[in-house]
Chains A and B, each alone.
Chain A
Amino acid sequence: MSEHPTTSWKSLQDGKGFYRRQQLYSLQGKLPDLGDYVISGCRYGGPLAIMRDNSKLVAIGRAAPAFGKSQIQVYSSAGEGLLLFSWDQSRIIRFGWTLNERLVVLNEEGVYRVYDLQGDYQQYSLGSEASEMGVIDARIYENGLVALTGSLALLEVKGWEGARPMTLANPNLADPPISWSIIPPDSNISRHVEVLLSVENTIYTVDNLESTDQRLSQGPFTHVSPSPNGKLLALLNAAGTLLVISSDFQRRMAEFDTLNVPSAHGNVKQVEWCGNDATLVIWESLAVIVGPFAETLEYYYVGNVFAVTEPDGVRIFGADVCDLIQRVPDSTLSIFRPGSTSPAAILYDAWESFSQRSPKADESIRSIRPELATAVDGCVDAAGQEWEPYWQRRLLNAAKFGQGFLDFYNPTDFITMGQTLKVLNAVRFYEVGIPLTYSQYSYTSPTHLISRLTSRNEHLLALRISTFLSIKPDAVLKHWASAKILKSRPVASGTGKDAELDGDDEVCRLIVDKFKQLGGVDVSYAEIAKRAWEVGRTGLATKLLDHEKRASDQVPLLLSMKEDRLALQKAVDSGDTDLAYQVLLHLHKHLALGSFFRLIEDGGERLAPASRLLQVYAREQDRDMLRDFYYSDDRRVESAVLALDEASRMVDPSGRITTVKSAQKFFSEDKDRSFEAKMMDESARLLALQQQLEAESDGKISFFGQSVNETIRRCIVNGMLKKADKIKSDFKVSDKRFWYTKLHALTEIRDFEGLDAFSRSKRSPIGYEVFVHYLVEKGYKKEAVAYVARCDAPKRADLYAECDEWRMAGKECKDRGDKAKLEQLRKKCPNSLVARELELLVASMK
């Protein structure tokens, strides 16, 4: 049985506030002497990062060996070493932790790296100004940092994705501040970072807009420390007075003279906060809590002490222990405070009586009947605040006991608490070493905890917790796969090339199987493959990528892996032409033209869509490239068509002829294209002829670029009949076509004599009906009549009718004795005059 919770309690002098000191871990000899190191602790039970403090002398022979180079070590709260790496860049200015437990290390040149707990890092820079002026100090908070440059300007970086640094308002300092601190954006009213600079006797507050002198007179302040919620400031001045004021500098809360602490020796090491309502002053071997009304509580330690402020307390690292000091939570206080008569206390008491089979239990329960629900809630809550599973269980049992007397009680809180405590106890285990309190857990969320576990490579635990809490295992699986790839590396590169391939297959299969087994549907293989590629395992990356179904994710990675053909293949297969273009344009930019073409041509049928897309693009945008492409692939026909297309856009006649000739040449190089070659030859000849015709007509008539028919027509229209005949014979224009053309042309210029002469030049190959129809259509009915006589006899009557020559039509019928036709005409005729005449004719035919 663990000792009663109250044994670790201490009350402030006035007896109202209780603080408890919970030993979290025993660190016997696990950490080096903290006094020799620069230390940064991560909140929410996170690890400590320590680096040898070069300003301190080290006695030879002490535990830690001396290093020439800077070296940073990371320990968990339980003193387990998590990471050790050396720093090969220029002097480290400061290091600190991000929200998701990554260590940010900033050097004097303004370069900072963000390390994860596996030692992988991303490197970013604060920009050229910082690197020129140098960085003299910085403050790192969970979501960003503020750096003080050599020119005493302040630079802010938000987030850890390498955002561009922004300059804050210039405080116009003459000297570096004596000390300084920041209030992070999310605990500030303005939601922007606020910098507190201790200058001379006062404090300057600086944000991105302005720098304000707060006109304090008690400075200079050697320590400036904002409370976790950013509402209060603890200031320690050179005279040893600790001031607690509101962060808007309006109210002074407490004042305490640190010189009055009798057992303190030497200088104040740290001013921190214990939760949001008490400050903590650290000396060597001593931590003093200063309450809201300047009451104190003293805690003694062996050796040097380092404190990490938590939102609900403070973690203190001594030489041999790691403690959590916090104000006793209200629910715990109401149960365990000596003489407490709160319902929860009575319920707990009742349960104890019950378990001892004492009838007192019933009486107690009765007495708190109206407040039983509150009492149960109180017990559940208090269970969450306890560190020892023994007491957690007892309190939960009490709650369960109380529940039994309630008719309606929603057990969700109870169940959640049970689950949560199970998780918390698991991660508090010293091998894991995350001393997370219940309220910290509630604040940071379970997924945050899982990501912390995965970053420690505690995949199994993380997976079990996520299953236990029904959270999707995707994040864990992804991290596991990445880690697996990293870890499997030495095995794979065992003996020769084959061994490596086997290794790749093995790892790939392992990963895929695991994903399938756990149903991690949403895990993107592309991301894992990217990781594999980053560590140089291209083969594995390719294999993993094969399992990626989203082409849009696959392709960019394949491109950066220089798997050009595969990238193009996948893009084409996806059917997404935009993706294919993306790849094509990328390759066009990065490959030599020759190898770019070869890549596409060698792809054969499978890459044909890509090849066609390239042609579509190039036809609009890059014709030279297209010409090269066709040329390199011996595509004569396409080359010719391209040349023709160009010719059609040309204005300069001789250029156009040359281009058509080049098309002709391309066609002639392909034995199956002799027809096309012949046509292009004709085309070039025609163009030359047209040029000549234009010259002969002094440029008055435009011929150039017209078709053969049109050229003939224009010749006829302009009276160049000889030329027209010549074109006919030169281009072997068929008689029929020539006659139609000439008929149309002569009608157009109303040269009916010419038409007549033409019609008599020889027997018409198209007949004479066409003449009649065409002339009638164009409205020259009178002129048409002449041709009717030359048409076939049976049709004449109708043709005459068409020309509105009813009388002649009638006569025609009469001549042929076609009475039926005559009747028909009579029915159609336009007026009675004609009708009568026709009737007469009909009559005469009897």
Chain B
Amino acid sequence: MSTEDIQDSEPPLDTNIFKEISKKALVDALNSVNGSKTLVLDPSLAGPLGLVTEVALLKHHGVDKMFWLEAGPLSSNTTNIVYLCRPMIKYVRIISGHIKRHAKESSKHNYTLLLVPRLSSLVSRLLEEEGVLGDITISAYNLQFLPIADDVLSLEYESAFKDIWVDGDESVVYDSAQALITLQKLFGLFPRLLGKGDHAARLINLLTTYLPQTSNPDTLFEPSTIFDSLIVIDRRVDMITPLLTQLTYEGLIDEVIGVRNSHVELPASLVNPPAPQAGVAAAPPPAPTSSTSLRKENRKKYHLTSTDPLFTELRDLNFSNIGKRLNGVAHKLEEDYKRNHSDLHSKTTAQLREVVGRIGGLQSEHQSLRIHTGISELLDPITRTEQFNKSLEIQQNLLASYNVSEQVSSIEEMIAQGADLEMVIRLLCLASITTGGIKAKALENIKRDFLQTYGYNFLPLLLSLAAPSLAILLPNPLPPSTPPEVTAFKYPFVPLRKSLRLLIDDNLEALDEVENDISFVYSGYAPISVRLVQCVAQKGGVLSNPAEKEKTSEQNKGSFGGKVQAHPIVGWKGFEDILATIPGKTVDIMQNAIGAAAPLGAIAQHKVKTTTSVVFFLGGCTYTEIAALRWVARQNRGRNIIIATTGIINGTNIVDGLAGIQKTITGTKDAGI
């Protein structure tokens, strides 16, 4: 984002408020238990909590020791034990195990259970069955949206996708609705609710009908002047995007190394400066060539934060540009150092002080440059591997529907080579969606190879991919016994490719210069989900390329008026036909405050004021989608976009979630956030 962008648009709403709310709620919850306490933490909450607070704050509020909530004995020397976890059955069992064991050892403790995000009758019932309900005080810790960047709010649910589309557990939808209501309580009602997808429709239904009654009507006031709309995209509507390999910097980090709760695990030597005198030019030791050794080295968590200006600059760039950009930064930095160095010879102390002050800033810049250079060096060899490029090639060919049967046999070949299970599944599903199903015979062979290669225990994974709720790995033609909802869900990829302009000719020059369409995030493919958002928030962007037009107009008019004023939100208007072809319900609702009709003046007002559209991804979104939406937001004057999601996903963690593969969480018994 250039400085010009920041100047001409009002700052979007302050997302840090959510952090403060969550922090305060945590402190209150902890303070409700008097005295020093042992905190037993659900490992899946450690990440989200790390975004809210730090260990020092917990210590300050009487947390003596912290443990992971894991099976096995728990020894605590404080009377108070506080459990903090999501309401999951396995945790209840562990907790009741602890309590019973303590009772046997006759050590006396006060137990408090803080459930995230709300109380659960299921948990109380299970505790009752275990006979320990009377020993434990249950309350809730309402952890909702967390800001993972200035413009991204996340609920940080890891299993949202699986919960909704495999298990059919809609708790996430309900919790999302609650969180969005909190958002409305803070900033006012969304004047317009738009959504695509069955579960998106369900969410909007909950927002408009059931939930307002549950809260005090006094708190839900008038339509917000900050928001212009809420756009809910159901992950099921666009399954293609997460299956593809993300090609932005942040996306690729997520694909290759894995980002959890905005933290990435890096080799320790990279995070801690190896030697203070190492200059910019002295590159870190050559990156290990294979990913296996990458996993072995001692690892340390590093926070990818938007407070790091370099990262903010890099995160949304296509990876192909990263090297160049880093180079440029390094040069600039070197010059700055030199200048300072020469400045050091200056006479007056005042000048000297200024220089010294500048050096501090340079050093942090230097540190961050070093880390990002290190990261890109980790990524680079992987992007050169044959498998990586083969999979990219298959993806691009499938998207262009080029020689489909050959792609399928390429996938088969990859299985034979023992490629990553996740990659194979991603490619298979992609092939199935884009082509409307893989030829029955071929599919059966591939499935057989797959099971023999990775184990028969992955049969349930294949079944759930083909199950009606998901239906992303299907044979073609469908067997006659297929339930009608599956046939109805057949994805019209080929027509969409044209109508939503999904494939942009990968013209290298364009990539190098201004990234002039959202397709830069996948080097030529525009994510459907973001195109749908554009259908609402930047209609011109779907049809043609505003950046190109802008370029021509700029030439005509000179440098004046770079950006177009955002058009008001008029729903899906103009794209109804296209939306109708995509499976899943389409929603468009105007929301007025109770008893108050929307005054005409309000609409006129929207035109002048900068408003914010909230895009909510139900089931998670990828970093590339975030990058693309940021790009969309930059194109217009007068509209900011806030991205809200149930969590950050990528194809790999979706597949892992479905297959029940647990990626190990590094950490000892003593939890450190």
Interface flags for B373-395 (1: CB within 8 Å of A; 0: not) read 00000000000001000000000
Contact call A641/B463, Cβ cutoff below 8 A:
yes
User: A192 at interface (Cβ–Cβ under 8 A)?
Assistant: no
User: A686 at interface (Cβ–Cβ under 8 A)?
Assistant: yes
A615 to B467, CA, bound (A): 15
Contact call B177/A575, Cβ cutoff below 8 A:
yes
The segment from B162-170, B296-304, B349-357 that touches chain A is B162-170
Contact call B386/A773, Cβ cutoff below 8 A:
yes
Contact call B214/A552, Cβ cutoff below 8 A:
yes
A575 to B177, CA, bound (A): 10
> Which B residues between 403 and 434 are near A, CB-CB below 8 angstroms?
413, 415-418
Interface flags for B152-187 (1: CB within 8 Å of A; 0: not) read 000000000000000111110110010000000000
Contact call A676/B459, Cβ cutoff below 8 A:
yes
Interface flags for B421-461 (1: CB within 8 Å of A; 0: not) read 00000000000000000000000100111011111110110
Contact call A708/B460, Cβ cutoff below 8 A:
no
Q: Given contacts A577-B174, A578-B122, is CB(A637)–CB(B463) below 8 Å?
A: yes
Interface flags for B320-345 (1: CB within 8 Å of A; 0: not) read 00000000000000000000000000
Contact call A734/B416, Cβ cutoff below 8 A:
yes
Q: Given contacts A616-B167, A734-B449, A737-B416, is CB(A621)–CB(B455) below 8 Å?
A: no
User: A620 at interface (Cβ–Cβ under 8 A)?
Assistant: yes
Interface flags for A762-788 (1: CB within 8 Å of B; 0: not) read 000010000001000100000000000
A579 to B122, CA, bound (A): 9
Give min CB distance, A713 to chain B, whole Å.
9
User: B89 at interface (Cβ–Cβ under 8 A)?
Assistant: yes
Q: State the main secondary structure of chain B at its contact with A.
A: helix
Q: Given contacts A550-B213, A575-B210, A683-B456, is CB(A581)–CB(B122) below 8 Å?
A: yes
Give min CB distance, B93 to chain A, whole Å.
9
User: A151 at interface (Cβ–Cβ under 8 A)?
Assistant: no
User: A755 at interface (Cβ–Cβ under 8 A)?
Assistant: no
The segment from B113-121, B258-266, B490-498 that touches chain A is B113-121
Partner of B171, one of A577, A637, A731, A740: A577
| Chain A residue, CB-CB nearest to B290 | A777
User: A429 at interface (Cβ–Cβ under 8 A)?
Assistant: no
Give min CB distance, B293 to chain A, whole Å.
12
A641 to B118, CA, bound (A): 31
A576 to B181, CA, bound (A): 14
A736 to B413, CA, bound (A): 8
> Which A residues between 617 and 656 are near B, CB-CB below 8 angstroms?
617, 620-621, 637, 641, 644-645, 648
Give min CB distance, B316 to chain A, whole Å.
33
| Chain A residue, CB-CB nearest to B447 | A675
| Chain B residue, CB-CB nearest to A585 | B125
| Chain B residue, CB-CB nearest to A770 | B417
User: A733 at interface (Cβ–Cβ under 8 A)?
Assistant: yes
Q: Given contacts A676-B459, A709-B453, is CB(A578)–CB(B89) below 8 Å?
A: no
Contact call B452/A578, Cβ cutoff below 8 A:
no
How many residues on the A side are at the interface (Cβ–Cβ under 8 A)?
A: 57
| Chain A residue, CB-CB nearest to B129 | A621
Contact call A585/B457, Cβ cutoff below 8 A:
no
Contact call A682/B456, Cβ cutoff below 8 A:
yes
> Which B residues between 235 and 272 are near A, CB-CB below 8 angstroms?
none
User: B307 at interface (Cβ–Cβ under 8 A)?
Assistant: no
Contact call B168/A609, Cβ cutoff below 8 A:
yes
Contact call B451/A679, Cβ cutoff below 8 A:
yes
Q: Given contacts A552-B214, A731-B452, is CB(A612)–CB(B89) below 8 Å?
A: no
Give min CB distance, B483 to chain A, whole Å.
11
Give min CB distance, B656 to chain A, whole Å.
16
A695 to B205, CA, bound (A): 61
Interface flags for A584-621 (1: CB within 8 Å of B; 0: not) read 01000000000000000000000011011101110011
Contact call A575/B202, Cβ cutoff below 8 A:
yes
For A319, the chain B residues whose CB sits under 8 A away are none
Contact call B213/A549, Cβ cutoff below 8 A:
yes
User: A582 at interface (Cβ–Cβ under 8 A)?
Assistant: yes
How many residues on the B side are at the interface (Cβ–Cβ under 8 A)?
A: 48
For A578, the chain B residues whose CB sits under 8 A away are 118-122, 171
Contact call A550/B214, Cβ cutoff below 8 A:
yes
Contact call A680/B459, Cβ cutoff below 8 A:
yes
User: B558 at interface (Cβ–Cβ under 8 A)?
Assistant: no
Give min CB distance, A71 to chain B, whole Å.
45
A21 to B32, CA, bound (A): 57
For B463, the chain A residues whose CB sits under 8 A away are 637, 641, 676
Interface flags for A540-583 (1: CB within 8 Å of B; 0: not) read 00000000011110000000000000000000011111110110
Q: Given contacts A575-B177, A581-B120, A707-B452, is CB(A648)–CB(B457) below 8 Å?
A: yes
Contact call B459/A744, Cβ cutoff below 8 A:
no
Give min CB distance, A784 to chain B, whole Å.
15
Give min CB distance, A115 to chain B, whole Å.
34
User: B481 at interface (Cβ–Cβ under 8 A)?
Assistant: yes
For A766, the chain B residues whose CB sits under 8 A away are 416
For A741, the chain B residues whose CB sits under 8 A away are 418
Q: Given contacts A581-B121, A737-B415, is CB(A672)–CB(B479) below 8 Å?
A: yes
User: B673 at interface (Cβ–Cβ under 8 A)?
Assistant: no
For B202, the chain A residues whose CB sits under 8 A away are 575
User: B669 at interface (Cβ–Cβ under 8 A)?
Assistant: no
Interface flags for B599-613 (1: CB within 8 Å of A; 0: not) read 000000000000000
Contact call B418/A577, Cβ cutoff below 8 A:
no
User: B557 at interface (Cβ–Cβ under 8 A)?
Assistant: no
A562 to B173, CA, bound (A): 28
Partner of B459, one of A550, A579, A679: A679
User: A439 at interface (Cβ–Cβ under 8 A)?
Assistant: no
Contact call B169/A616, Cβ cutoff below 8 A:
yes
| Chain B residue, CB-CB nearest to A581 | B122
User: B347 at interface (Cβ–Cβ under 8 A)?
Assistant: no
| Chain A residue, CB-CB nearest to B289 | A777
Contact call B456/A686, Cβ cutoff below 8 A:
yes
A577 to B217, CA, bound (A): 23
Partner of B170, one of A577, A615, A679: A577
Give min CB distance, B139 to chain A, whole Å.
15
For B359, the chain A residues whose CB sits under 8 A away are none
* B413, B416, B451 — most chain A CB neighbours (10 Å): B416
> Which A residues between 192 and 218 are near B, CB-CB below 8 angstroms?
none
Interface flags for A695-735 (1: CB within 8 Å of B; 0: not) read 00000000001111110000000000000000000010110
A813 to B205, CA, bound (A): 70
Contact call B122/A617, Cβ cutoff below 8 A:
yes
| Chain A residue, CB-CB nearest to B479 | A672
User: B126 at interface (Cβ–Cβ under 8 A)?
Assistant: yes
Contact call B449/A737, Cβ cutoff below 8 A:
yes
Interface flags for B530-542 (1: CB within 8 Å of A; 0: not) read 0000000000000
A521 to B213, CA, bound (A): 11
| Chain B residue, CB-CB nearest to A648 | B457
A723 to B88, CA, bound (A): 45
Q: Given contacts A577-B174, A585-B121, is CB(A737)–CB(B453) below 8 Å?
A: yes
| Chain B residue, CB-CB nearest to A778 | B290
A582 to B452, CA, bound (A): 43
Give min CB distance, A605 to chain B, whole Å.
9
Contact call A707/B453, Cβ cutoff below 8 A:
yes
A582 to B122, CA, bound (A): 7
For A675, the chain B residues whose CB sits under 8 A away are 444, 447-448
A89 to B417, CA, bound (A): 87
| With A579-B121, A708-B453 already in contact, 8 other A-B pairs whose C-beta atoms are closer than 8 Å | A550-B213, A575-B174, A582-B121, A615-B167, A660-B456, A676-B459, A709-B453, A766-B416
- Residue pairs across A and B with Cβ atoms less than 8 A apart, 28 shown, are A550-B213, A575-B177, A577-B171, A578-B121, A578-B122, A579-B121, A581-B121, A581-B122, A582-B121, A585-B121, A585-B122, A585-B125, A615-B168, A616-B168, A617-B89, A620-B90, A621-B126, A672-B479, A672-B481, A676-B459, A679-B447, A680-B456, A709-B418, A733-B452, A737-B452, A740-B416, A741-B418, A744-B418
Which residues on B are within 8 Å of A, measured CB to CB? 88-90, 118-122, 125-126, 167-171, 173-174, 177, 202, 205-206, 210, 213-214, 217, 290, 386, 413, 415-418, 444, 447-449, 451-457, 459-460, 463, 479, 481
